[in-house]
Copies of this chain bind each other. A is one copy, B any other.
Amino acid sequence: MIRYDVGQGEFKDWVVAESGFSPNQLRKFEAVMALGNGYMGLRSAMEESYFGEKRNLFVNGTFNQADPTEVTELPNLADVTQIDFYIDGERFHLEIGETDEYVRKLNLKTAELTRSFKWTSPKGKTFQFHCRRFVSLAERHLIGMKVEVEALNESASVQLVSAINGQTTNTGAQHFLNGVPRIYGDDLLEYVQTTRQSNVDIALVSQHRLSKEATVDKLMDRRKVGVGYQFNLVPGEKVTLEKFTTVYTSRDREFLPNGADQETVKQQAHDTLEKVTQKSYDELRDEHRQAWFDQIWNRYNIEIDSQDNFDQLAVRFSIYHMTIMTPDHDSRMGIGAKGLSGEGYKGHSFWDTEIFVLPFFTYSNPEVARSLLTYRYYGLESARAKAEENGYEGAMYPWEMAFPDDGEVTPLYGDIDIVTGERSKIWTGLIEQHITADIAFAVNQYYNVTNDEAFLNDYGYEMVFDSANFWASRYEWNEAEARYEIHNVIGPDEYKEHVNNNAYTNYMSYFNLKLAIKYYEFLSAQNENVFATLNEKLDLQQNYENWKEKAEKVFLPAPREEDQVIPQDDTYLSLPEIDLDKYKKQEQPRTIYKDYNQPQINGLQVTKQADVLVLLYLLEQTFLKDEVEFDAALKRANFDYYEPRTLHDSSLSLSTHAIVASDFEKMDMAYRMFRRAAEIDLGQNMKSSQEGIHAASIAGIWSISVFGFAGVRLTPDGLSVNPTLPNEWNSITFNVDWRGEQLRFEITREQCTISKDSQTELPIVIQNEVRKLKDTLTVPLALQYN
């Protein structure tokens, strides 16, 4: 069972805990309690092994194609965490004997995982175990572990067997050539492995430090190297094993620009290991903890006073996971849909990054946001290639992206089609195209929040212009209606394949065109050099005319007069409806794919996730706000229509719904959705996170808090704040980076206080009225609602 109330004192509302060992929840906790530092991610499998566990260690950016019939993915490195304990020759694990006082804790503040329990063997010998580990933020290549075993009542012969195990696969797919194991002396293990196709060398080196003399057994197996320490424990005696592992790959930033050969990678792993092992586990952990304080908690400091402490914990959980999943160190890498916490979605980046995760960084750590957008810039060439392959112009971003050069990496087949019994064909890589506009949207949002013109000059303009070129080439002319349409796409609602004029796609493509036009006009007037360079590269002047011509005639599905509902696509509103109760109920909803296959669902008025609603939420943050005239009533009308038809069968759905619900003060529903979004990973459902946490819904916890409840929003005029705290909340305090300044928001039920350190004046919009923010601005909340 997962518990939220275990943290005490300094760590109150900082600890996610498992209060008893549960073999059914191994995978869930491996993901939810995953460790990482953006460079690498480590699932929290136990030291001792269990059937059904999934040991994963990923290093960001090391993509490899296991097989010509599969797409590239993040390979699961050799496991370094397995330490098996043999007590009098019998392997210790928690499914046998008696376990007491079991608690496993992920301390979000220190980013350390600990586990302690008493265990009595089937023969009646009792031991106290303490296990600790961290993936260092101070030294990104370091994994530290410490295990302690104490004999409480009887003497025992104990053997600790610790390994680097390269027998791991990605659910059966082996990404690595047979590696080379080696042992140095009695305590130092080395395993070097190379990916089959992408030729990335990986060196893992583990140093051991045992507190006691022991008989040493050196172990070598295929793809595996290990060491066994055998000793006797007498009652009251405690033994400690520290294990430090360094991980380097030939793709590491350290080795840019030319990469490194295997020998260099290995040597670097040894050098760093030798350096860090001058210190103890506790010292290294303290350095790691300090890094978390300095870089993370001190910066993102968000506090929530809620009737339920869960909410504070959930927001910290959100920031914790966004930190460990994000490769802030290397702009050649993106964020996976499951972060680095599982094999799900293969480490690929989706629109989840730009629309759901990126805003956290844009508003609180713009340098990281810049790096993530630069990753998309590096993908521009392969986006152009994809456009060309598909008969279009400009840059058509891949629906799923891995290493920038890899291009489109969406798999071709998915889960079972229950009608045919075959794997279902995945169409998203071919026809879910809105991601190109989503990236342009994110560039603009980043620019508006940061004023980072250098980014636009270096990367952003080119991305926006060439994505506009894609859309301009993508439209189909409807002669009868005399308008440009977009046929045969998938919108955010992936239940609907091959639809025409998905509202989200059409509007966002229009936004992309208009943004290009705006940028063109701005750039041509403001920056001759950059304009000249890009003009030469992209023939801007001619494209500009094309954008304007196309933009004027894009079909933008209008709200129906009778009820203000925007048609999700050409046919949605006329499809038959079915009773969705069993799929929508909160306790164990049934997956609709168990009853219908994709072609059948395509014909029903049922939506997977926010579609029209995301559009409404995004567009009002742009210069199109006034042009398209989406008002609060329209938002509410569409919410009321679509939400009952939406199964929230994607982790991207609830946060948008909660934010939109906040906008029209449907706070009970908004809060319930906040909780549900948080509970996708942090709840009691034991299966939901097995393949990895849900990056988008985890970001959503923060987004609902700041954009929804605190009501912070970008407007064409500047930053707006319009808080509507749920009844359960008394206050929220957080930071926002706004154009180079860190603003501190303190919002209570009575007032909103905005403070900053510097003397600069900043425009901030309260209630649509622009004010100049200097030092501290305190606004009684009553003012907000007239």
B-binding residues in A (CB < 8 A): 23-24, 49-53, 66-70, 90-91, 93, 95-96, 166-174, 177-178, 180-185, 196, 217-225, 415-416, 418, 421-423, 594
Expressed in whole angstroms, the minimum distance between the Cβ of A239 and any Cβ of chain B is: 22
Known: A69-B178, A423-B181. A416 touches B594 (CB 8 A): no
Taking the closest CB of chain B, its distance from the CB of A11, in whole angstroms, is 33
Given contacts A49-B51, A423-B180, contact A166 B172 (CB under 8 A): yes
Q: With A96-B95, A183-B416, A183-B421 in contact, is A172–B594 under 8 Å at CB?
A: no
Taking the closest CB of chain B, its distance from the CB of A656, in whole angstroms, is 30
Alpha-carbon separation in the docked complex, A590 to B714 (Å)? 73
Within 8 Å by CB of A91, from B24, B66, B167, B182, lies B24
Q: Judging by beta carbons under 8 Å apart, are A421 and B184 in contact?
A: yes
Known: A24-B90, A96-B95, A184-B421. A173 touches B223 (CB 8 A): yes
Q: Within 8 Å CB of A172, what residues of B?
A: 166-169, 174, 222-224
Contacts of A185 in B (CB 8 A): 421
Q: Nearest B residue to A421 by beta-carbon distance?
A: B183
Chain B neighbourhood of A23, CB < 8 A = 91
For this chain, the copies found in one complex come to 2
- Return the 7 tightest CB-CB contacts between A and B, nearest first: A167-B172, A174-B174, A220-B416, A183-B421, A51-B51, A172-B223, A171-B222
- If A51-B93, A182-B423, A217-B594 are given as contacts, then 13 extra A-B residue pairs at C-beta distance below 8 Å, sorted by A number, are A24-B91, A51-B53, A167-B171, A167-B172, A170-B222, A180-B423, A181-B423, A182-B421, A182-B422, A184-B421, A218-B418, A220-B423, A225-B416
Does A69 lie within 8 Å of B223, measured CB to CB?
A: no
Q: How far in angstroms is the closest Cβ of chain B from A347?
A: 14
Residue of B whose beta carbon sits closest to that of A23? B91
User: A217: shortest Cβ distance to chain B, in Å?
Assistant: 7
Chain B proximity of A171: nearest CB distance (Å): 5
Asked if B171 contacts A169 (CB within 8 A), the reply is no
Between A70, A174, A224, the greatest number of chain B beta carbons within 10 A of the residue's beta carbon is seen for A174
Residues of B with C-beta under 8 A to A415: 220
Tell me the dominant secondary structure on chain A's binding face.
loop
A266 to chain B minimum Cβ distance, whole angstroms, is 13
Closest Cβ of chain B to A47, distance in Å, is 13
Given A218-B421, A418-B218, the answer on whether A174 and B169 have CB atoms closer than 8 Å is yes
A646 to B387, CA, bound (A): 72
Closest to A165 in B: B172
**Which chain B residues border A66 with CB–CB below 8 Å?**
174, 178
User: In whole angstroms, how far apart are the Cα atoms of A572 and B497 in the complex?
Assistant: 77
- A515 and B320 CA atoms in complex are apart in Å by 77
6 A–B pairs (Cβ distance < 8 Å), ordered by A: A51-B51, A172-B222, A172-B224, A183-B421, A218-B421, A219-B416
- The residue on B at minimum CB distance from A68 is B177
Q: Is A70 a contact partner of B423 (Cβ separation < 8 A)?
A: no
Min Cβ gap A163→B in Å is: 12
Question: Which of B96, B166, B178, B224 sits near A70, CB closer than 8 Å?
Answer: B178
Bound: A686/B422 CA distance, A: 43
Find chain B residues with CB under 8 A from A594 CB. Answer: 217
A218/B416 contact (C-beta < 8 A), A69-B177, A96-B95 known: yes
Chain B residue contacts of A180, Cβ below 8 A: 423
From B53, B95, B173, B182, contact of A174 by CB (8 A)? B173
Expressed in whole angstroms, the Cα–Cα distance for A95 and B50 within the complex equals: 11
Nearest Cβ on chain B to A492's Cβ, whole angstroms: 25
Q: Which among A68, A178, A594 has the greatest number of chain B C-beta atoms within 10 A?
A: A178
- Taking CB atoms, residues of chain B closer than 8 Å to A196 are 67
Residues of B within 8 A of A224 (CB): 172
Question: Which B residues are CB-close (under 8 A) to A422?
Answer: 182
Shortest CB-to-CB span from A421 to chain B, Å, is: 4
CB distance from A32 to the nearest CB of B (A): 20
Q: Which residues of B contact A183 (CB under 8 A)?
A: 416, 421
A415 to B183, CA, bound (A): 12
Residues of B within 8 A of A51 (CB): 49-51, 53, 93
Give every chain B residue within 8 A of A423 (Cβ-Cβ). Answer: 180-182, 220
Question: Within the complex, what minimum Cβ distance (angstroms) separates A776 from chain B?
Answer: 55
> How far, in Å, is A1 (CB) from chain B's closest CB?
15
Q: Are A171 and B67 in contact (CB under 8 A)?
A: no
Query: Which residues of B sit under 8 angstroms from A50, Cβ to Cβ?
Result: 51
Tell me whether A178 and B67 are in contact in the complex, defined as CB-CB below 8 angstroms, given that A23-B91, A171-B167, A183-B416 are known contacts. Answer: yes
Q: Find chain B residues with CB under 8 A from A53 CB.
A: 51
What chain B residues lie within 8 Å of A416 (beta carbons)? 181, 183, 218-220, 225
Most buried by B among A53, A182, A220, A224: A220
Contacts of A69 on B, CB cut-off 8 Å? 177-178
Cα distance A57–B423 when bound, in Å?
25
Q: Which residues of B contact A24 (CB under 8 A)?
A: 90-91
With both chains docked as a complex, state the minimum distance between the C-beta of A270 and any C-beta of chain B, in angstroms.
13
Q: Kindly list chain B residues whose C-beta atoms are within 8 Å of the C-beta of A181.
A: 416, 423
A563 to B221, CA, bound (A): 43
